Chains A and B, each alone.
Chain A
Amino acid sequence: MASVKPSFFKDPASTQSIRGILRVVILLTIAAASISSRLFSVIRFESIIHEFDPWFNFRASKYLVKHGFFDFWNWFDDRTWYPLGRVTGGTLYPGLMVTSGAIWHMLRMISLPVDIRNICVLLAPGFSGLTAFATYLFTLEMKDSSAGLLAAAFMGIAPGYISRSVAGSYDNEAIAIFLLMFTFYLWIKAAKLGSAMWGGLCALFYFYMVSAWGGYVFITNLIPLHVFVLILMGRYSGRIYVAYSSWYALGTLASMQVPFVGFLPIRTSEHMAALGIFGLIQLVAFVDYLRGQVPSKQFNTLLRALVILIAVVAFSGLVLLTVTGVIAPWSGRFYSLWDTGYAKIHIPIIASVSEHQPTAWPSFFFDLNFLIWLFPAGVYLCFRQLRDEHVFVVVYSVMASYFSGVMVRLMLTLTPIVCVAAAIAVSAILDTYLEIDSPEEPDPDAAETKKAKKAKESPLPTGGFLSSKAPYIGIYSITSKIAVVGAFSVYLVLFVLHCTWVTSNAYSSPSVVLASRMPDGSQHIIDDFREAYYWLRKNTPYDAKVMSWWDYGYQIGGMADRTTLVDNNTWNNTHIATVGKAMASGEAVSYEILRKHEVDYVLVIFGGLLGYSGDDINKFLWMVRIAEGVWPNEVQERKFFTPRGEYKIDHEATDTMKNSLMYKMSYYNYQNLFPPGQAQDRVRGAKLPAEGPVLHTLDEAFTSENWIVRIYKVKDLDAFGRDHFAARAFEGGKKKTRKGGLAGRAAGKRGRRVVRV
């Protein structure tokens, strides 16, 4: 060893390996940073599944682990969408559950029997480390490894991605973003090398992506778009042909193996672009072949005729197929991508989800911080080089920018490319300004020849544009170097601080438990949801049916383990509207619905006591709207507004509002908690009427500690065959008849007297 040492660091081979090790170490550190920055909620609360959808995924994963893959594949779940049930195995993207199931089995094999819940909770942070790695590889193809490392670091901690991948947020996006980046990397690789193997690998990961997230359509359209743009730019080559054909053929066949996708790739409009480009590239290849065989003059005529013919045939075929219904038209969610107002008018259920709203512009800065203003610079740098892969970045940037503006949720697809572009920009700046040796003398000729050489080496004609604009390379003044590098160091540090702050404050709340502070500053956890769900789980019959608004369906299924009527899957709008109607109608109508659906318990979320604003009264208008969409004559939104058009719950509330089941269940018995006449709703800041609502057909069964969750039991039919209104009137009657009678008489007397006067 000792004799080797002196030459060790000068030896180019060992410097290479040291660099390689450094790269590995840096990537590992980035992975560690991205994982640990997602653990706020685990440290602050506990290892728990967050939000709503993850509860379903978690339940499905448990089912998979318990019953095995084939049972999972054929899973018919009769405990949701009562009485319809759900063919769960065929209507979900199984990638996520299969991934965690595989990890579970693998760990078991090396005798680490980790609980499936912990795997599910930590899956998203774990995959974020891999995403950072995939981003590194992707950026490596664009520029070099220093840009790659920067991109990986950005990707690891960018809040736009963290928002969907903190520990416990066990959703499809957790693995999908990794798959997205990795598929793109493989595509770039395939397109660069023109290799069928890379194309096949790309198809394989495309298949994984299809099985994991509905957002695979983004890949399905982006890769064809890339190819299309390349063809338009006249950059068609054999490499593109091989890459695209192998990807499309294998990828589409593979994606059709996922039951939920099935024949969609050849039958829906969303997938037509890929098919069309597949056809086009065959044509282009054919034309390309012809060009080699036929003299150029004839070729031009031939080409024109061919193009027109095929365009007409293809378009009319498409129209015909769409009209006859063989190809499904665009689905509602896609229309809402083009017209942001579409969903609000036609499909309230899509518009009612907050993550489907258009993005507010501050959230770009919130989620991406300084990356967002480096993003255009990075794209510009891509334009300067504009190799095939840079075209991809440009296309991706344009598309993702548009979509992220339309829907908050799609910020997620924008984040990776912003990280890549920004990393290219930052690394270009640092490359230039971190050069310690200043150039001795400006030598424009040398620079130009260098550029020209580069241009010659490039397989594409880049034109005179580049060489004429880049006369010198290098910065002369140390001061400007220090200033720029210093400024960027500050930006980078601020970026890290911002990311940590955003993650810790905005994205690390499990939403199942709420944190509050005690007067002495200690943390107090408000655990009403789990309290009520656990009560349901322990103290109601196993086959009890619980009705609630669809938001809570997955949580009830996951935590209370009871049958629900509707859940977050929202595949059946009519069924959801039925629940909406039951909530929005008076008791007589609702009771009939409840009886018909054999509902045993009704669950509502009420934040009035605590000031929890995400409660059912605030969501009520969506229930009304969705119900109105199906029964426009029976439920009408305007009846819930005061004549002045206000949404009120106090004494000004309309009769329809006051008689609705939702209103009654929310405020039942609530006014008794306060001194007479002082009941206060802390969310809406309204004083409630002194007389609380009376319930005839339901009994209060359980109310959580802070009244957030209220559960009502649906009364059985009356033992004497009366309806509940009559029964209640009779029971309350004994005392009241007389009083009522007296009052009536008194009123009558007074009335008469008035008449006499």
Chain B
Amino acid sequence: MSSPTLELWNAAASSPFSPVIGKSLHATVAFILLAIGAVLTIIFSINKSLVLAPAIAFPASVAFGLGSVYALAAGGVYV
């Protein structure tokens, strides 16, 4: 059963899927991101102001979000 897709597969032998972050780093990355999120949240909650929102609150949300994705992955739930 020679199939063009098999050839495609063989042709792509040199370019396996390369993940953004490897499995061994999930826990570390999750911890760092969540920690950044927590610290930024605390800073923001001490000194609440609209001016600081994009500078501190927004990165905090992003760090929390990505951090929880990798925390899930580190816990074995690969999303």
Asked if chains A and B are in direct contact (CB within 8 A), the reply is yes
6-53 of chain B: CB within 8 A of chain A: 42, 45-47
Cα distance A474–B47 in the bound complex, in angstroms: 37
Binds B, one of A14-22, A237-245, A457-465: A14-22
A21 CA / B47 CA spacing, docked (Å) = 12
Q: Enumerate chain A residues within 8 angstroms of B46, measured Cβ to Cβ.
A: 14, 17-18, 21
User: Please, which residues of chain B bring their CB within 8 A of the CB of A17?
Assistant: 45-46
Scan residues 22-38 of chain A and give those whose CB is less than 8 A from a CB of chain B: 25
- Nearest-neighbour CB distance to chain A for B79, whole angstroms, equals 10
Contacts of A21 in B (CB 8 A): 42, 45-46
List B residues at the A interface (Cβ < 8 Å).
42, 45-47
* Chain B contacts for A18, CB-based, 8 A: 46
CB of B28, distance to nearest CB on chain A (Å): 20
- Of the candidates A4, A14, A17, the one having the most CB atoms from chain B within 10 angstroms of its own CB is A17
Q: Please measure, in the bound complex, the distance between the C-alpha atom of A25 and the C-alpha atom of B45, giving whole angstroms.
A: 12
Query: Can you list 10 A-B pairs, Cβ within 8 angstroms, ordered by A?
Result: A4-B47, A14-B46, A14-B47, A17-B45, A17-B46, A18-B46, A21-B42, A21-B45, A21-B46, A25-B42
Q: How far, in whole Å, are A542 and B50 apart by their CA atoms in the complex?
A: 63
CB of B65 to closest CB in A, whole Å? 12
- B23 to chain A minimum Cβ distance, whole angstroms, is 21
Binding site for B on A (CB under 8 A): 4, 14, 17-18, 21, 25
C-alpha spacing A4/B46, complex, angstroms: 12
List 3 A-B pairs, minimum CB-CB distance, nearest first.
A17-B46, A21-B42, A21-B45
Please name the residue on chain B nearest to A14 by beta carbon: B46
CA gap between A177 and B8 in the complex, in Å:
62
Alpha-carbon gap, A314 to B9, bound state (A): 90
A4→B51 CA distance, assembly (Å): 15
Set of chain B residues within 8 Å of A4, measured between Cβ atoms: 47
CB distance from B55 to the nearest CB of A (A): 10
Alpha-carbon gap, A18 to B43, bound state (A) = 10
B45 CB contacts on chain A under 8 angstroms: 17, 21
For the complex with contacts A17-B45, A17-B46, A25-B42, 7 further pairs of A-B residues with Cβ separation under 8 Å are: A4-B47, A14-B46, A14-B47, A18-B46, A21-B42, A21-B45, A21-B46
Closest to B46 in A: A17
Report A107 CB to chain B, min CB distance, Å: 13
| Inter-chain contacts of A25 with B (CB < 8 A) | 42
- Give Cα A343 to B45, complex, Å: 57
A21 to B41, CA, bound (A): 10
A4 to B45: give the CA distance in the assembly, Å.
Answer: 15
Nearest Cβ on chain B to A42's Cβ, whole angstroms: 13
**From B41, which residue of chain A is reached at the shortest CB distance?**
A21
Q: Quote the shortest CB–CB distance from A430 to chain B (angstroms).
A: 26
In Å, the complex CA distance between A14 and B48 comes to 11
Closest beta carbon of chain A to B37's beta carbon, Å: 14
Report Cα–Cα, A14/B47, bound state, in Å.
8
Closest approach, in angstroms, between the C-beta of A277 and any C-beta of chain B?
A: 44
Complex formed: what's the CA distance from A18 to B42 in Å? 9
* CA gap between A25 and B38 in the complex, in Å: 10
Min C-beta distance of A239 to chain B, whole Å: 35
A14 to B45, CA, bound (A): 10
Give Cα distance in the complex from A25 to B41, angstroms.
12
- Cα A601 to Cα B42 in complex, Å, equals 62
Tell me the nearest residue of chain B to A25, going by C-beta.
B42
* Complex Cα–Cα for A277 and B45 (A): 46
Distance of A25 Cα from B46 Cα, bound (Å)? 13
Chain B nearest CB from A19 CB (Å) reads 11
Q: How far is the CB of B48 from chain A (nearest CB, A)?
A: 9
Separation in Å of the A11 CB from the closest CB of chain B?
11
Give the CA-CA distance A18 to B46 in the complex, in Å: 7
A496-B53 Cα distance, complex, nearest whole Å: 41
Determine the residue in chain B with the shortest Cβ distance to A4: B47
How far apart are the CA atoms of A21 and B42 in the complex, in Å? 7
Q: How distant is B47 from chain A, measured CB to nearest CB, in Å? A: 8
B42: A residues at CB distance < 8 A: 21, 25
Instruction: Tell me the minimal C-beta distance from B41 to chain A in angstroms.
Output: 10
Chain A: minimal CB distance from B31 (Å): 14
Q: What is the CB-to-nearest-CB distance from A648 to chain B, in angstroms, rounded to a whole number?
A: 53
- Distance of A18 Cα from B47 Cα, bound (Å): 10
> Across the interface, which residues of A come within 8 angstroms of B47, CB to CB?
4, 14
Cα A18 to Cα B45 in complex, Å, equals 9
A538–B3 alpha-carbon span in the complex (Å): 44
- Which single residue of chain B is at the shortest CB-CB distance from A28? B38
Q: How far, in angstroms, from A233 to B32 measured CA to CA in the complex?
A: 58
Considering only CB atoms, which chain A residue lies closest to B68 in the complex? A112
A746 to B42, CA, bound (A): 98
Q: How far is the CA of A7 from the CA of B49 in the complex (A)?
A: 18
Alpha-carbon distance between A579 and B74 when the two chains are bound, in angstroms: 51
Chain B, residue nearest A22 (CB): B42
Report the minimum CB–CB distance from B51 to chain A (whole Å): 11
Q: How far is the CB of B7 from chain A (nearest CB, A)?
A: 39
- B-side contacts of A14, CB under 8 Å: 46-47
For the complex, give the distance between the alpha carbons of A17 and B46 in Å: 6
Minimum CB distance partner of B52 in chain A: A1
> Smallest Cβ distance from A24 to chain B, in angstroms?
9
Nearest CB in chain B to that of A20: its residue: B45
Shortest distance from the beta carbon of A458 to any chain B beta carbon, whole Å: 36
A14 to B46, CA, bound (A): 7
Q: How far is the CB of A448 from chain B (nearest CB, A)?
A: 41
- The smallest beta-carbon distance between B30 and chain A, in angstroms, is 16
Interchain nearest-CB distance for B15 vs A (Å): 32
Task: Give complex CA distance A17, B45 in Å.
Answer: 8
